[in-house]
Structure 1
Amino acid sequence: MANIKSAKKRISVTAKKTLINRMRKSQIKTAIKRFEAALAEGNMEAATENFKYAQKKIHQIAAKGTLHKNAAARKVSKLASRLNAAKAN
């Protein structure tokens, strides 16, 4: 355990940020799962709406720094390609 005051503060700040980052990553995973569920059902309207929501969440969280911007772009691109492939069929 830390003895120095600044080290103790860093531990508490890190713990808080870890919880926030975990919550944000969970929001992304939930949004993607909802999109994939709508896609699996074949409901294109719901899939499109869920894609827009997931895209928005991913970019918001990347802007906060929890997710790298290239990782966010990769995730959105993957979702978009799945949506476009489903619309083509």
Structure 2
Amino acid sequence: MANIKSAIKRVKINDKKRALNQSQKSDMRTAIKQVEKFVEANDVENAKSALQVTIKKIDKAVQKGIIHKNTGNRQKARLAKKVNSLGA
């Protein structure tokens, strides 16, 4: 454990930020799983609406630096491909 006052504060801040990042990342992953569940069930309408929500969450995670830009783009592309294959 840190002895210096500023280091102690830094540890507290890092813990808070890690908790927020984990929460947002978990929320994003849950949204991705939701879209995949709708795709498996061949539910086109719900899959499309869930995809819009998921894309927003992925973009927000990229913007905040929780995930890398290319990772976010890859996830969005894969989900969009799955949803678009339902319509065709």
TM-score grouping bracket, smaller chain normalisation:
over 0.9
CA–CA distance in 2 between the matches of 1:24 and 1:62? 11
Match of 2:2 in 1: 2
CA–CA distance in 2 between the matches of 1:43 and 1:6? 53
The runs of at least 4 consecutive aligned structure 1 residues that moved more than 6 Å come to: none
Match of 1:47 in 2: 47
Match of 1:29 in 2: 29
1:70 aligns with 2:70: yes
CA–CA distance in 1 between the matches of 2:59 and 2:29? 13
CA–CA distance in 2 between the matches of 1:38 and 1:32? 10
1:15 aligns with 2:52: no
Count of aligned residue pairs for this structure pair:
88
Using the size of structure 1 for normalisation, the TM-score is 0.92
Structure 1 unaligned spans of 5+ = none
Structure 2 unaligned spans of 5+ = none
Match of 1:82 in 2: 82
More relative contact order, 1 or 2 (CA 8 Å, 6+ apart): 2
Using the size of structure 2 for normalisation, the TM-score is 0.93
The percent identity for this pair of structures is 39
CA–CA distance in 2 between the matches of 1:13 and 1:66? 16
> What is the CA distance between 1:47 and its match in structure 2?
0.4
